[in-house]
Chain A
Amino acid sequence: MNQYPQKIMSESKTETWSLVVTPKSRLFNFNIQEIWRYRDLLFLFLRRDFVTVYKQTILGPLWFIIQPVLTTLIFTVIFGNVARLPTNGLPPILFYLSGIIVWNYFADCVVSTSDAFKKNENIFGKVYFPRVIVPLSTVLSNLVKFGVQFLLFLGFLFYYSFQIKLPPLGYDLLMLPFLVLIAAGLSLGFGMIISSLTTKYRDLSFLISFGIQLAMYATPVIYPLSSAPEKYRIFILANPMSALIDSFRTIFFRTGELNYLALIYSVVCAIVLLFIGLLVFNRTEKTFMDTI
């Protein structure tokens, strides 16, 4: 008599596994709930990245600012004064700085996300947590860095507003967070794809570090998009970062109208890259310990 209900109970219990591990993961397994549970880890990683990078340096976080300032100065001399590339009539420093900080955000995210597996091999090999936390924290910590550099840019903008007449800021300033979000999505997706592939094919990590430098020239960082010859413009716009940098300048300098079509293209690219990125990343995280 007694056994019957017990059997039912144990049977119903077996259905309530909180964890089932099988060789093959579901194709798309993005568990928001689990990531939310590990949100503290996300912020501790974020904090670790900040606290430790500039330990035992004299200038510390000032390096966030020194890097773009020096790059801007070099670009101003080389591309502005020597090569005399057009800057849409803007002060070269403002022009280059605006391009550099947006491009650097993308480039830094991609490069540091791309070795997520390799760099954290010793942690990943010993303990489980949603692996996606690592690229997420990288993108977030670069976002903070971007924030600091953006403040620097605002400082220059403020300074130049006394020198020359800059157009007033319009409503499209509200687009700014979206631009950053798209850049974050693009770099996260792209970085995750690269990081998954590097676990098997290490060649990619060499390719990515100089490839991203070359990619800068295919992006309107050191030249305005409008100065590119008409027949090449479509190729430059094929790079989803182009529209973002161009729009960033448009918002602040009113050098033209926002190209919504190009922006939508960037958004689509970001979504597709993110989707593929998560897909590949999910597949890799299960077995990469055996191949790395």
Chain B
Amino acid sequence: MSDIIIKVENLSKQYRLGVVGTGTISHDLNRWWHKARGNPDPYLKVTGENTQNIQNGNEYVWALKNIDFEVNQGEVVGVIGSNGAGKSTLLKILSQVTAPTTGVFKARGRIASLLEVGTGFHQELTGRENIFLNGAILGMTKSEIKSKLDEIIDFSGVENYIDTPVKRYSSGMKVRLAFAVAAHLEPEILIVDEVLAVGDAAFQRKAIGKIKEVSHGHGRTVLFVSHNMTSITHLCDRGLVLKNGTGVFDGNVNDAISFYLESDSSHHSLAKRTDRRGDGSVQINNIEVYGEVLGKRLKPTTGKDLFFKFHFDRNKKTYLNNIQLDLRIDSHLGAKVVWLSTKLKEDKQYSLNDELTFQIPKGPLNKGKYYGTFQCSHNGIVADEVQNAFHFEVIEGLYYESAQSVPINQSDVLIDFNII
């Protein structure tokens, strides 16, 4: 039964840039003066689009602009977007931490939000006392917590330390305990921010499994934010893509992820990319991807050689000694596939002109879409880094002599092996 449990209408949130606190009295007075005369708020008209890199001179910025969506009961929605797209702002409004500037949001049932693991943990209290405190902050009653205490302690795996003050815990233990409390909440709507990024791999698996159980097993509605596309595909059936504060895609989770990754990468020359990191002493202007033969415009193909050619900025090549160039290739779901680095080949001399090429013999990538992220450092200091700098498509080709292909849902990487 598809009952609408969350309804978001025309939701917007405006933030003020710069130092909040200076000039607030004058702004307040001005605002009040306009209101007193029945005019609209003068500061709401200033509409700077939420682009964090481009200075548009506006003091006010829309972190969210005209968001509309509905969520049905039992749906698990992944909210996707690059940094600063407005994901966290949306979750903050939905968890009532802050109010929207315009628009309405309606919900049915209890909302529990997990924007951070271990909110309100007190260092001096024991693990057991903190379970109660944290649980109550998240909206549980004492009796609810009491009835689940054993389960929570068991899930956290810190039985031996449960009567020790939390300040003696390792950070991993704290996270496990905090997640255990949160996992046993029983709200109708659960809002989860990137909290699973902490903890080791085993814990993450456990946490994702628990969220899955909560959503699919108990029919709860979950809104989930993550940068990890793999966990989004595992958990969610629907994806909502935000970009610069507006909703740009809403639909099937796999389509949403491809939409996001596509919109995220650019074909343009890297010289104009502003989302780079590093001190800029070295800059990469252009990357070319070739299949089969270097310099020939052939599509990268499984089983054929693969080339990545990096062009450095000529004006900055004084530093071309002592540089290290790393290239990471991710699958279209964001899973890390391979990492190449000049560091790994230190014994071998490579020519350092204003270009450098990585060659991968017998391309071991399965057919599909891949994303490249590079980092160039000079004397150990990051000089230039661009996340998802480029993407390329690998088309099906021959890798094994049997001419059989590896199903794409099995593996992104192919490897030679023998049967003996």
Contacts and interface: CB of A to CB of B under 8 A. Distances in A.
Physical interaction between A and B: yes
Interface of A: 10, 13-14, 16-23, 25, 37-38, 40-41, 43-45, 47-48, 51-52, 55-56, 122-129, 200-202, 286-287, 289-291
Interface stretch (B105-113, B248-256, B267-275): B105-113
B3 A13 contact: yes
A248 B19 CA distance: 48
Contacts of A43: 142
B104 interface: yes
Interface in B133-149: 133, 136-142
Given A52-B124, A287-B98, A290-B15, A127 B108 contact: no
A21 B105 contact: yes
Contacts of A129: 137, 139
B18 interface: no
Closest 7 CB pairs of A and B: A286-B99, A128-B96, A41-B136, A40-B142, A17-B106, A126-B119, A52-B124
Nearest to A286: B99
Contact of A20 (B93, B104, B119): B104
A52 B111 contact: no
Chain B: interface residue count, which band? 35 or more
B122 interface: yes
Contact of B95 (A14, A22, A45, A128): A128
B97 A19 contact: no
Given A48-B125, A56-B124, 17 more contacts: A13-B4, A14-B4, A17-B108, A20-B104, A21-B99, A22-B99, A23-B100, A40-B136, A51-B125, A52-B122, A125-B97, A126-B113, A126-B115, A127-B119, A200-B24, A287-B99, A289-B97
B111 A123 contact: no
B393 to A, nearest CB: 41
B394 to A, nearest CB: 42
B97 A127 contact: yes
Contacts of B102: 23
Contacts of B7: 14, 17
Interface string B274-314: 00000000000000000000000000000000000000000
Contacts of B217: none
B103 interface: yes
Contact of B99 (A14, A25, A44, A201): A25
A127 B16 CA distance: 22
A31 B217 CA distance: 33
Interface of B: 3-4, 7, 15-16, 20-21, 24-25, 92-93, 95-109, 111, 113, 115-116, 119-120, 122, 124-125, 129, 132-133, 136-142
B125 A38 contact: no
A20 B100 CA distance: 12
Given A127-B138, A129-B139, A291 B99 contact: no
B384 to A, nearest CB: 34
Nearest to A43: B142
A185 B65 CA distance: 42
B137 A21 contact: no
B106 A20 contact: yes
Contacts of B3: 13
Contacts of A17: 7, 106-108
Nearest to B118: A126
A23 B136 contact: no
B108 A128 contact: no
Contact of A44 (B109, B113, B136, B139): B136
A23 B101 contact: yes
Contacts of A22: 99-100, 104
Contacts of B122: 48, 52
12 contacts: A18-B108, A21-B96, A40-B141, A48-B122, A123-B120, A127-B138, A200-B24, A286-B99, A287-B98, A289-B98, A290-B16, A291-B20
Nearest to B140: A40
Nearest to B139: A129
A21 B97 CA distance: 11
A23 B99 contact: yes
Nearest to B100: A23
Nearest to B101: A23
Given A51-B129, A289-B98, A291-B20, A18 B142 contact: no
Nearest to B116: A126
A77 B114 CA distance: 55
Given A16-B108, A17-B108, A55 B124 contact: yes
A120 to B, nearest CB: 8
Contacts of B119: 122-123, 126-127
B125 A127 contact: no
A43 B129 CA distance: 12
Nearest to A283: B99
A128 B111 contact: yes
Nearest to A54: B124
Nearest to B137: A127
Contacts of A19: 96, 106-108, 111
